Structure 1
Amino acid sequence: MKILAVGQLPTEVGGNYSTGMGKVMYELSCQSYGTDTLYSLAVNCRHSAARRLGGDRYIGYTFPLLRLCKDALRHPARFRSELRDYRCNLNYSPWRALFYRLNIDRAVRSVNPNIVHLHSIDLVIPFSHSEYAKAAKSVVTCHGIFQTEGNPQRCGYYEDSLSRVDYVSGLTKEIHRKLGGLGVSSQRIFTIPNGVDTSKFRYSESERKRLREEQGISEHTVVFLTVASIQKRKGQLDFLRQLVHSGMDFRYWLIGKGPDSDSILAFAAESGVADRVTLIGYVDAPKLYSYYSAADIYAHVSSEEGQALSEIEAYTTGLRVLVNRKIAGTLANEAENNPRYHIADTDQPLDWDEFRRWAGNPSGAERVPSSRFDWQHIADMYRAMYGKIL
């Protein structure tokens, strides 16, 4: 069996921009699929750079101008219809969509896959215009479904796109529920979570001691950590507004960058907690485990999520997780009866007494790392899905 995955790759391996979806696709490409072969087409990575990753298993983009001219000249009516579909249904340039379609055509001709696995809803409509769209089974992974509540136009976009593929996979039960509301039958849906590289994301007692000593933080100080782009949807500023009234000896570390950074620093200064809030910026993945190890509570306080890789990474290193009730359905774990999770309405006044009873006195000695979301296990779940599709 041959599978062609289509999506993105992160910048550290040649992509010209990074997304969570790109990291997922790359991690899955590094796993073993037994006697099957996974090929990866990255629409954000030049072909020469992609080939350096692993020979013919990685395919990057080219600018197939000759093929474009042939399509326009040989089938002018079909070509105009395709561009009209893009203009009417996509929120990005029809020429960009055409670029995607031409590169998908090129990859399918090269690989001749049994299954085409799209890693973005935005790739579905371009794929549907491929001359090879009916030659292989197709599946799209929805890494998140956003902005559909009370938005008929957005719902229509999802409904149209999802009708053009054979199967759909989602990361969470919440996504499964939303897919049902968009008219996708349960027989067409698979639920498979994201994963984590347990060789990179692990608990280290020595790193915990080193980093806390460097920062002058005792074991009695509770260190909260959030790893995410710093923006309103991720909830860092709203959470900090509550944290300053907790009465706790706390530190709040934020890893990432974003438009709310200045607002957070200004609020911390106004509230007299500037020395307790640290904006760390971007941290390379191999170094993140040190911060997860040194922290006590992962603050997963977004108001809307697909499924955050950072929360899975935190859980894998043994961190306890404070999670906004609004996104509890996006977790890879069942959170309701899991003592590692504290579910609360983090955009409402928190009951800090209840929180302290749950948190106790966090220390490194209590950490229980987990390996159940290792990427190889997730790849095995996808391989089983491919087998069922065929």
Structure 2
Amino acid sequence: MAVTVPSLLRTRQPERHGRSQRARASGGTPCVLIGTDTYPPDVNGAAYFTARLAQGLIARGVNVHVLCQSDEGPPGVEVRDGVTVHRLRSMPSLVHATLRLTVPAGTRGHVEQLLRRLRPDVIHIQNHFIVGRLLLSAARRHAIPVVATNHFMPENLFNYLHVPEALRTAIGDLAWRDFCRVLRDVEHITTPTRIAAQLLLDKGFQRPVEAISCGIDLSRFHPSRDAGTTEGGADEARSRVRARLGMADRPTVVFVGRLDEEKHIEDLIEALPQVLVADTQLVLAGTGSQRQRMERLAAEKGVADRVHFLGFVSHEELPLVYRAADVYAISGTAELQSIATLEAMASGLPVVAADAMALPHLVEIGRNGYLYQPGDTGELAKYLTTILSSPEERIRMGEASRAMAAPHDQANSLARYERVYRDVSHSHTH
């Protein structure tokens, strides 16, 4: 929920200013300005992480503001889900149907005014593009330390930018060199997993990189609590959820995320006819540029009646999608962590995942699921069959998934970020 507050900065600024000074002097909670090029209502992992981070920090008593692009065009200030969000003037993206981009011209003055009024102890940027660069430059002028979190992989942009396959390696190398140049002087850099941290080092970043999980809300994502302690009770609970979501009541493989090129949804659809458990269905929750192509592929493979496109799922109903499933499958090859996979694990689902990027970080083969070679749909189908054909295996792996997801409780991530903010703020003033 968003509430427009045109004069918020003017009416509240004296309080913010004083609190920031006390934070510097006493080592208390700092004032944090989070900058990002994507924020709800945008639908993507970086936007959701940033919103959860801001909301979670505010719930812990941290003084947080967010700077991002306007979701409608004109600049303004609003309160969204308890977070004060400062929106910069934006324009439609030429390569993405829903994403808007900050208009750089004329924004420096807005950023300067905001920093003078808030006087943040720390700036936390979520990317190195338009808003990130604006804040990096301003932070240096105002001697404010910067924390950066990386959600970037060139592969996630190639489809939108229509980069030819033959040029992707060269353009990817250029993009990584730009990344290293822009963020080389930040005080602290984080990324969601150790694998993602090692990727930055392999791409030439020459500073220490800390892995901090994006975190998940274990109070929202959990197995159905009305399932009882038997498999029969779990089956009944799943049946009720499927009916609520308009799904057929049959063995269910689920994927949650964008239906875009780097997600390789075709693996999941092409594997479905090879799954040896009768009437297995694939449920895809999300939107994206590849939906129509995937619908055509499902028809070509003769499984259109068993591929269910849920489309966009609301925040409130998302936990139900996982509770409707028997197993979670993910075929993406450019995941820096995969929050959706963690949510599925917390919900008690076994996982079959592509053996690519950070996904192996979430799967212990034979314990909570399996890894398959990207593109090998026969192998994917074999593992899905193994799990779906054995209720005992499914329960055992689901319990292991839940246990493995527990350390990713967002409370742990929020506490670590608070410590990072205090540390960089303290070291910057001494």
Distance 1:261 1:380 in 2: 38
Q: Aligned equivalents of 1:273 and 1:195: distance in 2?
A: 35
- Indicate conservation of the 8 Å contact 2:272/2:281, yes or no: no
TM-score norm. by structure 2 comes to: 0.72
In structure 2, what is the Cα distance between the partners aligned to 1:306 and 1:24?
Answer: 12
Task: Name the structure 2 match of 1:280.
Answer: 310
In 2, Cα distance between equivalents of 1:160 and 1:289: 40
Equivalent residue, structure 2, for 1:127: 135
Are 1:40 and 2:66 matched, yes or no?
Answer: yes
Report what 2:411 is aligned to: 376
1:144–1:305 contact (8 Å) kept in structure 2: no
Contact 2:327 2:387 in 1 (8 A): no
| CA offsets 1:160-218 (integer angstroms, 9 cap, x no match) | 2112423211112222112213433353x221111223333232236523034564424
SS in 2 for 1:10: coil
Partner residue in 1 for 2:151: 143
- Pairs within 5 Å for 1:160-309: 160-187=181-208, 189-204=209-224, 205=227, 207-212=237-242, 215-218=247-250, 221=251, 223-249=252-278, 250-309=280-339
Size of the aligned set, in residue pairs, is 350
Task: Report the AA paired with residue 341 of structure 2.
Answer: E
CA distance in structure 1 between the partners assigned to 2:139 and 2:152 by the alignment: 28
Q: Which runs of 5+ in 2 are unaligned?
A: 1-29, 90-99, 156-167, 228-235
Which residue matches 2:165? none
Task: Report the RMSD for the aligned CA atoms in angstroms.
Answer: 3.1
Amino acid in structure 2 at the alignment position of 1:61 = R
Alignment of 1:86-97 (within 5 A): 96-97=103-104
Q: Distance in 1 between matches of 2:170 and 2:310?
A: 37
Q: Which residue of 1 aligns with 2:96?
A: none
1:210-232 CA distance string (max 9 Å, x none): 034564424xx3x1111122122
- Please name the residue that 1:155 is paired with: 176
Q: How far apart are the structure 2 equivalents of 1:289 and 1:207?
A: 13
Aligned-partner residue type, residue 261 of structure 1: R
Q: Which amino acid aligns with 2:118?
A: V
Q: Confirm or deny: 8 A CA contact 1:203 1:289 kept in the other structure.
A: no
In 1: Cα distance, 2:222 partner to 2:287 partner = 24
Instruction: Indicate if the aligned counterparts of 1:239 and 1:347 stay in contact, CA closer than 8 A.
Output: no
Following TM superposition, by how much is the alpha carbon of 1:59 offset from its aligned partner in structure 2, in angstroms? 3.6
Partner Cα distance (2:372, 2:217) in 1? 28
Q: CA deviation at 1:270?
A: 2.9
Cα distance in 2 for partners of 1:27, 1:61 equals 18
What SS is found at the alignment partner of 1:121?
coil
Aligned to 1:342: 370
CA contact (8 A) 2:123 2:146 kept: yes
Q: What is the alpha-carbon distance in structure 2 between the residues aligned to residue 225 and residue 94 of structure 1?
A: 32
- Distance in 2 (alpha carbons) for counterparts of 1:229 and 1:157: 26
Contact 1:237 1:260 survives alignment (8 Å)? no
Residue 325 of structure 1 is matched in structure 2 by: 355
Identity of aligned residues (%): 19
Shift in Å, 1:311: 1.4
* Stretch of structure 1 that moved more, 36-45 or 168-177: 36-45
| 8 Å CA contact 2:247, 2:308 repeated in 1 | no
What SS does structure 2 have at the residue aligned with 1:347?
A: coil
**CA displacement, residues 34-75 of structure 1 (integer Å, 9 cap, x when unaligned):** 565333223335775523654xx6141356xxxxxxxxxxxx
The whole-number CA distance in structure 2 between the counterparts of 1:175 and 1:134 is 31
Shift in CA distance, 131/197, structure 1 to aligned 2, threshold 3 Å: closer
Q: Aligned-pair distance for 1:303?
A: 2.2
Contact 2:277 2:389 in 1 (8 A): no
What runs of 5+ residues in structure 1 fail to find an aligned partner? Answer: 12-16, 64-92
Contact 1:125–1:164 (Cα < 8 Å) also in 2: no
Q: CA 1:292–1:133 in 2, change beyond 3 Å: closer, same or farther?
A: farther
Which of 21, 25, 28 pairs up with 2:53?
Answer: 28
Deviation at 1:3, TM superposition (A): 1.7
Q: What letter matches 1:323 in structure 2? A: A
TM-score by length of 1: 0.78
CA shift in 2, pair 1:43/1:104, >3 Å: farther
- In structure 1, C-alpha distance between the alignment counterparts of 2:117 and 2:147, rounded to whole Å: 19
Q: Is the 1:251–1:276 contact (alpha carbons within 8 Å) kept by the matching residues of 2?
A: yes
1:62-107: CA deviations, max 9, x gaps? 56xxxxxxxxxxxxxxxxxxxxxxxxxxxxx998234554443232
Relative to structure 1, the CA distance from residue 256 to residue 379 in structure 2 (aligned partners, 3 Å threshold; closer, same or farther) is: same
Task: Compute the displacement of 1:371 (Å).
Answer: 4.0
Deviates further, 254-263 or 41-50: 41-50
Residue 235 of structure 1 and its aligned partner are, at CA, apart by: 1.2
Q: 1:179 to 1:365 in 2, by over 3 A?
A: closer
Q: Aligned with 1:30: secondary structure?
A: helix
Aligned counterparts of 1:350 and 1:114: Cα–Cα separation in 2: 53
Residue deviations 1:337-387, cap 9 Å, x none? 571131111312433445544555247865434543332221112112223
Residues 143 and 246 (structure 1), Cα distance of their counterparts in 2 relative to 1, 3 Å cut:
same
CA distance in 2, matches of 1:194, 1:326: 19
- Whether the aligned pair in 2 keeps the contact of 1:230 and 1:259 (CA below 8 Å) is yes
